[in-house]
Amino acid sequence: MKQLTIAICNYNYERYLTAAIDSALAQDYPATKVMVVDDGSTDGSREIIEGYGKRVLFLGKRNGGQVSAYNHAIASLDTEYVIFLDSDDVLYPSAVSEVMRFFEHGTWAKVQFRLDVMDNEGVLTGAYVPHSEPPQECGELLRSGWLYPSPPASGNAYRVSALKQIFPVPEEGVNRYGADFYAIYGVALTGPIATVPKSLGGYRVHNAGSGTVSFANSEQLTKAPRAFSMRWAILRNIVKVRLGIELPGTFLDFSHEKATFCSSIYRATLFRRWHWMLLDSGNYLHTIVANPFWSLKKKLGTLVLSSLCLVPYSPLSDFAVRYIANPLARRRVSRR
């Protein structure tokens, strides 16, 4: 039986760490190993990890950021497959069994699956990510600059040999975070991607309040566009040197453009909203109209919602932005 490691990279998440480790140990696939990389936590994380004894492989290191933790974990892996589970997320008991069914009958570089969205207390919200499924050969679209729909870090299982074609990733300077970006998109250039059409874990959203427009846990909305552009540049260099693949200078991704849209439009004046939509919305609209992963219905719906940002009534405009930006807002509306 082929082995898979669940690698949990943790930094100061003692509140959630036990749930993550317990979910990894509860897998019904017998050949599952559990590794915890602690990135120099200063809370009670180390004591929690040590409490599991030999049931988990504990790798402690000095604080260096998420990229450093991924580099360390990948260099230490001795299994053929791995899932990187964020220390505030959980996996359902059949997660490893489900992804191994794909790996055992194909040459997949990555098997991805949906994650149910949880709030800060672990209560399911009724939302899940992602809402679109990529084609198996999404690497071809990636070569044209299109970032394919992927779940967050915890919803991806990788062939380790594919990861090692991309990692280690430079970890100095501002590139401390976003390790999952390089794993998710870099691996797609090494082989085909498979999708399990159901949820196999829970994704915790810490800013799930109804007033927020941000959906990403890791970065503030205004910082996301700059961070993505930096990572794309680094990924371009990595795959050029290691894989001999030339990626375009810029990428296309609705999630990225959505962040720019929201930070520019939300709670802005009517003049500012119209000015942005008329003069600066080209890339945003292009990632809707030309999106190769979306249905016509989804494209039209997003365009209609986006147009509501031009109405004089600012509460309606702000609601439209929240609806586009945050899937949790959509669930709240449906429950009324």
pLDDT in tens, 240-289: 999 999 999 999 999 889 888 988 999 999 999 999 999 999 999 999 99
Q: pLDDT-based confidence at 219, cuts 50/70/90?
A: very low
Q: Is the pLDDT of residue 91 over 80?
A: yes
Would you list the domain boundaries of the chain? 4-226, 254-334
Q: Is the pLDDT of residue 211 over 50?
A: no
Q: Is the pLDDT of residue 212 over 60?
A: no
Which residues lie below 8 Å from residue 307, measured CB to CB, with a gap of 6+? none
Mind giving me the DSSP string for 236-292?
HHHHHHHT-----SS-B-HHHHHHHHHHHHTT--HHHHHHHHHHT-HHHHHHHHT-T
Q: Is 207 helix (H, G, I), strand (E, B) or coil?
A: coil
Instruction: Please list the residues that pair with 68 across neighbouring strands.
Output: none
Residue 9 has, within 13 A of its CA and on its CB side, a CA count of 24
The per-residue pLDDT for range 104-134, each reduced to its tens digit, is 998 999 999 999 999 889 999 888 999 888 8
Q: How far apart are CA 233 and CA 229, in angstroms?
A: 6
- Give percent of the chain with pLDDT exceeding 90: 78
CATH class, 4-226 region: alpha beta
Q: Is the pLDDT of residue 222 over 80?
A: no
Average pLDDT on 200-217 reads 66
Q: Is the pLDDT of residue 335 over 60?
A: no
| Residue 36: φ, ψ to 5° | -125, 120
Q: Is the pLDDT of residue 336 over 90?
A: no
pLDDT value of residue 227: 82
Average pLDDT on 22-26 reads 98
Q: Is the pLDDT of residue 96 over 50?
A: yes
